């Protein structure tokens, strides 16, 4: 109500309008245009069409009830020999890495000559609620790594994780370094004592045992509630004003809907994983303290000595950049590199900016450390 | 029934104390002997206990929800107070002016709400609210368990034990397979 009053106060300024009649004509036209755009906007949301995502050609080389291992068709006849395995996060869906042709992280890597594989996690059911990080890392990721190594006749591959997937890639590398040639992490969650995000704040105060005991797996609805507290106005609300302004631009609308589809496509997270994520990583910071246990094994980051590339978004409001940067200080690798970019969590992987600024540098770093 | 809205305004009585008194009152009823000739009270007592627990939890949900909404409203009002509504300061004459004004409003709201969401107090409140919903779900589960007992169906706890055991077995099989693979590869090396 107050906003409406404020707008009324400002738009119906009689002295200004008397002095300049063109102003009222211009604003009237703007209002007419706006109401037409709102009609289109309403129609768009009332009749959502199928939104196509993940269009890059691929083959499913293994499928279980937990994941699908995808192999993308190489662009070149002889791709770079060292295969690249992308480990996606357990939050939202992996098609953000292949959202559309001109903003696809995967397609760009293929065009740079890499042989790309992706672990596409499937939504867990209530029967999977006792699956923990030990299973994800030492069973599912390990199975994929072994399969690729055998298929490609190589000893090692490049492990490349995003967000929670980057954290799992780090865990895997500490335990299975002989199979990994390079580790490339995008916005990994490592040192949560440096996390200043809203998610970090919720995580630190959450009574996760009580919640998981009641719901089994972490509900998508609860996850969405937490995510909606991230930049609720500048992004959560402002994006719809931007959409209104560009409602006649077909390409813009399609891009917008793809991102929107991804944002609301939240699968549940298995109860045990969510408990470990909140208690061990956010509340007790065990990963950064080298005390995190997967089964009987301790994750000691100082045991990593292979080449590490850590890519961090400085405007990331989901994963605190300082918490990600910590990885470079915790590993023992001599060949380690930190790349920071002035963009956000999603902008880092699915934007024109990442195509122009991030991926060429990542490709260059990787190419010089892969077997050709 | 306690009116939570007026209760919240009257902050001299802590909410926890009201809940405690409420529970104490009903405990007297539950402690009525259940043996003959009072045996008929048992069934009623169980029913009333479930209802009381439900009332307690829904009261908690109402209390935390009210706090949550109050925090949001307070932040919203405080943010809007920061926006000058003096006519001379904001005269919107063009589309650009309107965009600028909109951006200013959203920026002010964003700053206030981010401060709220990043505060420890709000984090605790969200946790309490989620915890209360969890308690509610758990209670409904326990009630349904009591009434399903005569049907001789497996309870959630029974299924949970099975699922946990299955997952443990899967892990053991995985570790065994890995050990076999290592032994096999070493054997192959020796043969070569």
**Per mean pLDDT, which range of A180-184, A216-220, B9-13, B80-84 is the poorest?**
B9-13
Q: Helices B95-118 and A238-245 sit at what angle, rounded to 10 degrees? A: 160
Q: What is the pLDDT of residue A113?
A: 97
Residue whose entry in the numeric block shows the structure tokens 């490049």: A158
B70 touches chain A (CB under 8 A): no
Tell me whether residues B94 and A205 touch, CB distance under 8 A.
Answer: no
Best of B136, B142, B160, B171 to mutate (most A CBs within 10 Å, chain A): B171
Chain B nearest C-alpha distance from A72 (Å): 28
Q: What is the pLDDT of residue B89?
A: 63
State the DSSP code for B153.
Answer: P
Helix or strand or coil: residue A320? coil
B131 token code pair: 């915890």
Number of H helices, E strands in chain B: 6, 0
Residue whose entry in the numeric block shows the structure tokens 């704040």: A201
Nearest residue to A324 via CA among A100, A182, A163: A163
What are the structural domains of chain A?
58-192+287-367 (3.40.50.1820)
Q: What is the pLDDT of residue B12?
A: 67
Chain B nearest C-alpha distance from A26 (Å): 7
The 10s digit of each residue's pLDDT in A289-323 is 999 999 999 999 999 999 999 999 999 999 999 99
Q: Where are the alpha helices (DSSP H) in B82-155?
A: 95-118, 120-148
Helix (H) or strand (E) holding A42: helix A21-46
Q: What is the pLDDT of residue B37?
A: 76
Q: How confident is the model at residue A86 (pLDDT cuts 50, 70, 90)?
A: very high
Beta bridge mates, B2: none
Pairs of CB atoms within 8 A across A/B: 118
Helix or strand or coil: residue B11? coil
Q: What is the pLDDT of residue A45?
A: 74
Best of B84, B92, B115, B136 to mutate (most A CBs within 10 Å, chain A): B92
A4 touches chain B (CB under 8 A): no
Nearest residue to A123 via CA among A261, A258, A276, A266: A266
Tell me whether residues A210 and B134 touch, CB distance under 8 A.
Answer: yes
**Per mean pLDDT, which range of A86-90, A187-191, B87-91, B102-106 is the poorest?**
B87-91
A228 token code pair: 């909606």
Q: What is the pLDDT of residue A13?
A: 44
**Chain B residue whose CA is closest to A294:** B171
Chain A nearest C-alpha distance from B90 (Å): 6
Contact list in A for residue B170 (CB cut-off 8 A) is: 135, 139
pLDDT by residue for chain B (192 residues), tens only, comes to 334 444 455 556 787 788 788 778 877 777 777 777 777 777 777 777 888 889 889 999 999 999 999 999 999 999 988 887 665 566 777 778 888 888 888 999 999 999 999 898 999 999 999 999 999 988 988 888 877 778 888 888 889 999 999 999 999 999 998 889 888 888 777 776
Nearest residue to B153 via CA among B144, B161, B163: B144
Report the alpha-carbon distance of residue A212 to residue A275 in Å, rounded. 7
Picking from A10, A16, A204, the nearest residue to B123 by CB comes out as: A204
Contact list in B for residue A195 (CB cut-off 8 A) is: none
Tell me whether residues A198 and B117 touch, CB distance under 8 A.
Answer: yes
Q: In the predicted model, is pLDDT for residue A3 greater than 50?
A: no
Q: What is the pLDDT of residue B5?
A: 45
Mean pLDDT calculated for residue range A346-368:
96
Tell me whether residues A30 and B167 touch, CB distance under 8 A.
Answer: no
Beta bridge mates, A311: A186, A339
B169 touches chain A (CB under 8 A): no
The 10s digit of each residue's pLDDT in A25-46 is 667 777 778 788 888 888 777 7
Report the alpha-carbon distance of residue B31 to residue B15 in Å, rounded. 25
Q: Is the ipTM of this complex over 0.85?
A: no
Higher pLDDT, A141 or A27: A141
Q: What is the pLDDT of residue A152?
A: 96
Q: What is the pLDDT of residue A1?
A: 44
Chain A nearest C-alpha distance from B123 (Å): 5
Residues of A (161-200) whose Cβ lies below 8 Å from B: 196, 198
CB A178 within 8 A of CB A159: no
Nearest residue to A160 via CA among A97, A101, A112, A104: A97
Residues of B (118-157) whose Cβ lies below 8 Å from A: 118-120, 122-124, 126-127, 130-131, 133-135, 137-138, 141
Tell me whether residues B93 and A213 touch, CB distance under 8 A.
Answer: no
Report the alpha-carbon distance of residue A196 to residue A206 in Å, rounded. 16
Report the alpha-carbon distance of residue A45 to residue A40 in Å, rounded. 9
Contact list in B for residue A13 (CB cut-off 8 A) is: 87, 91-92
Q: In the predicted model, is pLDDT for residue A10 greater than 60?
A: no
Radius of gyration (Cα) for chain A, nearest Å? 23
Best of B86, B117, B161 to mutate (most A CBs within 10 Å, chain A): B117
Q: What is the pLDDT of residue B82?
A: 85
A16 touches chain B (CB under 8 A): yes
Q: Which residues of A are catalytic?
A: 163
């Amino acid at each position: 109500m107050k906003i409406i009053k404020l707008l009324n106060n400002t738009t119906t300024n009689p002295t200004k309008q008397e002095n300049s009649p063109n102003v009222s004509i211009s604003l009237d036209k703007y209002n007419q245009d706006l109401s037409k755009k709102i009609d289109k906007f309403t129609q768009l949301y009332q009749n959502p069409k199928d939104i196509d995502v993940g269009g890059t050609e691929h083959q499913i080389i293994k499928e279980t009830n937990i994941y699908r291992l995808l192999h993308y068709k190489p662009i070149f006849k002889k791709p770079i020999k060292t295969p690249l395995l992308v480990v996606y996060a357990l939050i939202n869906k992996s098609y953000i890495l292949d959202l559309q042709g001109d903003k696809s992280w995967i397609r760009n890597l293929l065009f740079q000559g890499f042989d790309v594989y992706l672990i596409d996690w499937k939504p867990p059911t209530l029967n999977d609620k006792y699956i923990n990080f030990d299973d994800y890392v030492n069973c599912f990721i390990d199975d994929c790594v072994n399969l690729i190594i055998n298929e490609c006749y190589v000893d090692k591959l490049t492990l490349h994780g995003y967000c929670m997937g980057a954290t799992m890639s780090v865990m895997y590398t500490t335990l299975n370094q002989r199979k990994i040639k390079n580790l490339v992490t995008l916005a990994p969650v490592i040192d949560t004592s440096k996390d200043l995000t809203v998610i970090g704040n919720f995580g630190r105060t959450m009574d996760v045992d009580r919640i998981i005991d009641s719901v089994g797996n972490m509900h998508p609805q609860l996850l969405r509630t937490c995510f909606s507290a991230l930049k609720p106005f500048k992004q959560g609300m402002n994006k719809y004003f931007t959409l209104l302004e560009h409602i006649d631009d077909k390409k813009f609308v399609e891009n917008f809907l793809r991102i929107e589809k991804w944002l609301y496509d939240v699968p549940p997270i298995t109860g045990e994983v969510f408990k470990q994520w909140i208690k061990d990583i956010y509340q007790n910071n065990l990963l950064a303290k080298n005390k995190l246990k997967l089964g009987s094994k301790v994750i000691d980051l100082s045991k990593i000595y292979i080449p590490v590339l850590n890519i961090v978004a400085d405007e990331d409001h989901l994963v605190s950049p300082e918490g990600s940067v910590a990885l470079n200080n915790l590993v023992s690798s001599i060949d380690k590199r930190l790349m920071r970019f002035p963009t956000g969590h999603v902008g880092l992987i699915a934007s024109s900016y990442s195509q122009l600024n991030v991926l060429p540098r990542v490709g260059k770093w990787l190419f010089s450390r892969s077997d050709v | 029934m306690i009116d939570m809205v007026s209760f919240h305004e009257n902050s001299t009585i802590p909410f926890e104390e009201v809940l405690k008194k409420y529970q104490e009152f009903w405990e007297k009823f539950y402690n009525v002997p259940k043996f003959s000739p009072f045996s008929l009270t048992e069934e009623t007592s169980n029913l009333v206990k479930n209802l009381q627990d439900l009332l307690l939890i829904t009261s908690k949900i109402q209390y935390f929800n009210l706090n949550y909404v109050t925090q949001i409203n307070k932040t919203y009002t405080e943010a809007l107070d920061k926006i000058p509504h003096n006519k001379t300061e904001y005269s919107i004459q063009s589309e650009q002016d309107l965009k600028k004004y909109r951006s200013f409003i959203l920026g002010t709201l964003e700053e206030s709400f981010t401060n709220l969401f990043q505060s420890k107090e709000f984090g605790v409140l969200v946790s309490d609210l989620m915890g209360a919903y969890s308690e509610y779900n758990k209670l409904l589960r326990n009630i349904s368990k009591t009434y399903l007992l005569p049907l001789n169906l497996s309870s959630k706890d029974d299924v949970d034990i099975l699922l946990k055991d299955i997952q443990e077995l899967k892990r053991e099989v995985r570790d065994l397979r890995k050990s076999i693979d290592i032994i096999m590869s070493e054997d192959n090396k020796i043969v070569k």
